[in-house]
Amino acid sequence: MASDGVCDTPAVTAPTDLRPAVRRALDLSRRRGFVKSSRVETGRLLAALAASRSGTLGECGTGCGVGAAWLSSAAREGSTVVTAEVDADLADAVAELFADDPRVEVVHGDWTSLLERAPFSLLFLDVREAKTSGVETVAELLGPGGIVVLDDFTPCAAWPPVYDGRVDVTRQQWFTDDRFTTVEVMVASDAAVLIATRR
State how far the Cα of 135 lies from the Cα of 105, in Å rounded to an integer: 25
Confidence of residue 14 (pLDDT cuts 50, 70, 90): very low
- Any domain includes 189: yes
- Any domain includes 14: no
* Residue 27 belongs to domain with CATH number: 3.40.50.150
- Any domain includes 13: no
Q: What is the domain extent for residue 129?
A: 19-198
Q: What would the DSSP string read from start to end of the chain?
A: -EETTEE-SPPPPPPS---HHHHHHHHHHHHHT---PPPHHHHHHHHHHHTT--SEEEEE--TTSHHHHHHHHHPPTT-EEEEEES-HHHHHHHHHHTTT-TTEEEEES-GGGGGGG--EEEEEE-SHHHHHS-HHHHHHHEEEEEEEEEEEE-----SS-EETTEE-HHHHHHHH-TTEEEEEEEEETTEEEEEEEE-
- Any domain includes 54: yes
Residue 99 has pLDDT above 70, yes or no: yes
- Any domain includes 51: yes
Number of structural domains in the chain: 1
Q: According to the model, what pLDDT value does residue 112 have? A: 86
Confidence of residue 183 (pLDDT cuts 50, 70, 90): very high
Q: According to the model, what pLDDT value does residue 16 have? A: 65
- Any domain includes 1: no
- Any domain includes 12: no
- Any domain includes 2: no
Q: According to the model, what pLDDT value does residue 135 have? A: 84
List the single range of 76-80, 134-138, 195-199 with lowest mean pLDDT: 134-138
